[in-house]
A and B are shown apart, each in its own frame.
Chain A
């Protein structure tokens, strides 16, 4: 092959272009980020608790799920509030895949632990991931749980014209005919799987005889129940809301001890005589292990303040998420307890892979 002048020009200019664009990709890990030029005027508060000024540049908030889901919407509302609060852009980046493991691995293991890469976490990519896998790609020890922001109640939805009059009757039917129960799930070890497993455990039905239909998420799963292709969908109230309002599905009960503020007429499973359904959905923020304390403190305080902001509260209620703040200490403790409980459940029901 003759290397002529034109070809050399092309290759050289390409090399120049690439080195400009990828900021020295040859020696940088995939997570290398070049911070865009900071705005000329930044409102920088006095350094909190003796630490250096933070933030002084753009922060990346990694959402390990697709845009439009619950975690994504809460993360966007949070980013919106904090960027106004701190005068620095907070960019939400979606890195979906692997039940939330892909984005988590990026934010916790590939990115620098300098406080400029945060991770949006939820129940599915933390406690349930650890419980559902013998060797999960990310573990609780890999991260500092910074703040819990909100929670969602699980709801049991069936087709609008389903024959059961209430949750008690439905539970009895399932106990008698476990092989006829098809239920949609957001992944083999997501919150719907744990919600169903716990419920069947409580009522004494055979979990292994029921049939799980794995879907991509609520947008894919609830229509399957509405169309009569599966019997039951277990999702958060917010995810079922559109189909519920359309009159395509019915919610037989919500989990937890109290009725959902968004569905005051729907009874809890407890009222229907099914006690001990504790699985719930939550979302929050965590940082990679080794992130400086002043970063954690700053986020924690700002999120605590954010929860009191009426505009933020309205955003949460618009997507049917309840505010549920926990600071780093309480959040870490809750996660630990939840992991143990779910691991026990997963082992018992043979869900660990």
Chain B
């Protein structure tokens, strides 16, 4: 196969000292930026894009891809050690990662996280090699009705995700959706619910809400608990034990597959697949009640999923020029700046470039493993800093992160407002995950609904006349029934668990 030959050539050039250096710098800088709350891959790439402009195209893109992977990993690190997701896709990692860290098993959790990221990244790269031309065609078959059905499916999952009271999670979901309505309507272009406040015309930003609900809330909780220092005294070895690896192998594979195949669909972000993978793991587990209390599977699956998704996203990006997520849109800008318009032509005209970048992703993933496992102690050290010093630093980063979204103090205010709200939710046991999920999916749901109605001349019937969307709808309905049944059965036990321990959601 000539793709193999091309890939090998790609490896040869990716392994050149300067390209290795670029991948290493990218991975390190990315991890560092990812560790800062709120500075996710998108802002990291956006900030560093001008800096890579001085490099040759191949090196520039290699570095950017490294930053992208690094930031994803950095986000997981803070998610586990501090319960602060650096970006949305690390939220599910918090759910079990942080309890693990509190038990003093932060080290192994980080290790599993790195291994899962690496394994899924590798899976993604292999997929990229074999399926790029084939899968790109499938992505086009998904029209608005299919997306609408897909969103319904994702929202159905939300119900089962929160585990607690169904009513509460529905209400929080509805609240999240209401928040998403603020701003310019996706179809009409008319401002909605802005009350004449100019900042509200732009709507609430996801990142500032996330920073608020997760990071600021965490600081408030910490102040309340009068933490002397974060409870982690012994992170343990970062090299996981055999049992951890054995437990995580299947979740990694499942999460990786979920993340990869859904990641091929434009618009299916790493956050969505990470949530799905977490939920799937909870569903198939024989001990669903252990989730949220520090189950290593709950770290392995979403981490594998979000990395597989980031890799899979390169397929529609390279083969069709469709960026499936914000960071990839910025990478697309990077490619265009170098005069490399993505599309099948890119594979033909710039084959060496494409395959070098693909090979360097592989290298970049390996770098993360090699660099980050030994470096984990640096991140762990961060958690030993007294809380009186740590809290303001976290808040400072939250402020910078929220500010950097749109360079406006409005987003900072939103972050702090939601920090207070998240704290209250935590106090009174209202789940915040449905809020976040509905806030993200709400606009997509609305947009695909309006597009579907336009396609069907105002008749919704088009949704069950198309095989793909019908299949997704049936799956969603089945899932809802199963969720409700399972929910009833486990609710009692979950309540008992909740009474005893604390939880994130």
The distance in angstroms between the C-alpha atoms of A303 and B109, with both chains bound, is 54
Residues of A within 8 A of B50 (CB): 76, 80, 91-92
Docked-complex contact A212 and B339, CB < 8 angstroms: no
Chain B residues, CB < 8 A from A14: 391-392, 395-396
Proximity bits, B164-208, A CB within 8 Å = 1, else 0: 000000000000000000011011111100000011011100000
**B223 within 8 Å of A (CB atoms):** yes
A30 to B393 CA separation, bound complex (whole angstroms) = 22
Answer whether residue A335 sits at the interface, using C-beta atoms and an 8 A cutoff: no
Q: Which residue, B412, B447, B454, has most C-beta atoms of chain A within 10 A?
A: B454
Q: Would A22 and B187 count as touching, CB distance under 8 A?
A: no
With A188-B189, A229-B455, A241-B343 as known contacts, state yes or no: A223 contacts B266, CB within 8 Å: yes
Closest chain-B Cβ to A44's Cβ sits at a distance in Å of 22
Contact among B184, B339, B391 with A99 in the assembled complex (CB-CB below 8 Å)? B184
- Determine the chain B residues whose CB is within 8 A of the CB of A318 once the complex forms: 336, 339, 341
Known interface pairs A10-B388, A22-B403, A229-B144; A242-B184 also in contact (CB < 8 Å) = no
Contact of A18 with B344 at beta-carbon distance under 8 Å, contacts A94-B46, A223-B266, A243-B321 already known: no
B461 within 8 A of A: no
For B342, give the chain A residue with the smallest CB separation: A242
Q: Is the CB of A68 within 8 A of B336?
A: yes
Point out the residue from A21, A94, A230 that lies within 8 Å of B396, measured CB to CB: A21
Asked whether any CB of chain B lies closer than 8 Å to the CB of A203, the reply is no
Bound-state CA distance A105–B183 (Å) is: 14
Q: Decide if A99 touches B455 in the complex (CB within 8 Å).
A: no
A73 at the binding interface (Cβ < 8 Å): yes
Q: Which residue of A has the minimal Cβ distance to B450?
A: A214
Which one of A1-9, A266-274, A325-333 is at the B interface?
Answer: A1-9
Question: Is the beta-carbon distance between B329 and A219 smaller than 8 angstroms?
Answer: yes
Indicate if the CB atoms of A22 and B451 lie closer than 8 Å: no
Nearest Cβ in chain A — how far from B354, in angstroms?
A: 14
Contact B333 A13 (CB under 8 A): no
A114 to B388, CA, bound (A): 41
A182 at the interface (CB under 8 A from B): yes
Q: Is the CB of A245 within 8 A of B201?
A: no
- Of the listed residues B49, B144, B451, B455, the one surrounded by the most CB atoms of chain A closer than 10 A to its CB is B451
Contacts of B451 in A (CB 8 A): 213-215, 224
| B322 contacts A223, C-beta separation under 8 Å | yes
* B499 in the interface (beta carbon within 8 A): no
**A76 contacts B333, C-beta separation under 8 Å:** yes
Q: Who on chain B is nearest to A248 by CB?
A: B140
The B365-392 residues at the A interface (CB cut-off 8 A) are 387-389, 391-392
Cα A169 to Cα B395 with chains together (Å): 62
What is the minimal beta-carbon distance from B48 to any residue of chain A, in angstroms?
12
Chain A nearest CB from B397 CB (Å) reads 9
Nearest B residue to A66 by beta-carbon distance?
B329
Please name all residues of chain B whose beta carbon is closer than 8 Å to the beta carbon of A182 when the two chains form the complex.
454-455
A93 CA to B330 CA, complexed, in Å: 12
* In the assembled complex, B320 has its CB within 8 A of some CB on chain A: yes
Q: Is the CB of B333 within 8 A of A68?
A: yes
Q: At the interface, yes or no: B489 with Cβ under 8 Å from chain A?
A: no
Report B23-55 residues with CB < 8 Å from chain A CB.
46, 49-50, 53
A200-218 CB contact bits vs B (8 Å, 1 = yes)? 0000000000011111100
Q: Is the CB of B140 within 8 A of A214?
A: no
Interface residues of A in 187-237 (CB under 8 A from B): 187-189, 211-216, 219-220, 223-224, 226-230
| Cβ contact within 8 Å between A17 and B141 | no
Whether the pair B396, A17 counts as a contact (CB closer than 8 A) is yes
If A18-B399, A214-B451, A226-B140 touch, whether A188 touches B188 (CB-CB below 8 Å) is yes
Tell whether A98 is near chain B: CB-to-CB under 8 Å.
yes
Contact assessment for B395 and A18 in the assembled complex, using a CB-CB cutoff below 8 Å:
yes
> Which residues of the partner chain A approach B142 to less than 8 Å between Cβ atoms?
227
Is the pair A106, B341 in contact by a Cβ cutoff of 8 Å?
no
User: Could you say which of A6, A242, A245 contacts B388, with CB atoms under 8 Å apart?
Assistant: A6
Q: Which A residues are in CB contact (< 8 Å) with B226?
A: 4, 6-7
B323 engages A68 (CB within 8 Å): yes
A72 to B334, CA, bound (A): 11
Q: Is A97 located at the chain interface by the 8 A CB criterion?
A: yes
**Which A residues are CB-close (under 8 A) to B201?**
97-98, 101-102, 105, 137
Instruction: Decide yes or no whether A304 CB sits under 8 A from chain B.
Output: no
Chain A residues, Cβ within 8 Å of B391: 10, 14
> Which of B143, B329, B344 is within 8 Å of A67, CB to CB?
B329
Question: Which chain A residues lie closer than 8 Å to B408 at the CB level?
Answer: 30-31, 106
Q: State in angstroms the CA–CA spacing of A21 and B397 once bound together.
A: 10
B400 touches which of A21, A220, A230, A242 (Cβ 8 Å): A21
Kindly state the separation between the CA atoms of A58 and B202 in the bound complex, as whole angstroms: 26
Chain A residue numbers with a CB within 8 Å of B53 are 80
Chain A residues, Cβ within 8 Å of B333: 67-68, 72-73, 76
Check A77 for interface membership: any CB of B closer than 8 A.
Answer: yes
- With known contacts A67-B330, A137-B201, A223-B320, A10–B336 Cβ distance under 8 A: no
Check: B154 CB closer than 8 A to any chain A CB: no
Closest to A320 in B: B341
Residues of B within 8 A of A28 (CB): 409
Cα distance A21–B199 when bound, in Å?
21
Tell me if B345 is interfacial: C-beta within 8 Å of chain A.
yes
Q: Is A59 an interface residue (CB 8 A)?
A: no
Binding site for A on B (CB under 8 A): 46, 49-50, 53, 139-144, 183-184, 186-191, 198-199, 201-203, 223, 226, 266, 319-323, 326, 329-330, 332-333, 336-337, 339, 341-345, 387-389, 391-393, 395-396, 399-400, 403, 406-410, 412, 447, 450-451, 454-455, 457
Besides the known contacts A22-B399, A182-B454, A216-B447, 12 further A-B residue pairs in the complex with CB atoms under 8 A apart: A28-B409, A68-B332, A94-B46, A98-B183, A101-B184, A188-B189, A215-B451, A223-B140, A241-B343, A242-B342, A242-B345, A246-B343
* 19 residue pairs bridging A and B, Cβ less than 8 Å apart: A13-B388, A18-B396, A25-B412, A67-B49, A67-B329, A67-B330, A67-B333, A68-B323, A68-B332, A94-B46, A97-B202, A102-B202, A110-B198, A182-B454, A211-B457, A213-B454, A226-B140, A227-B141, A353-B190
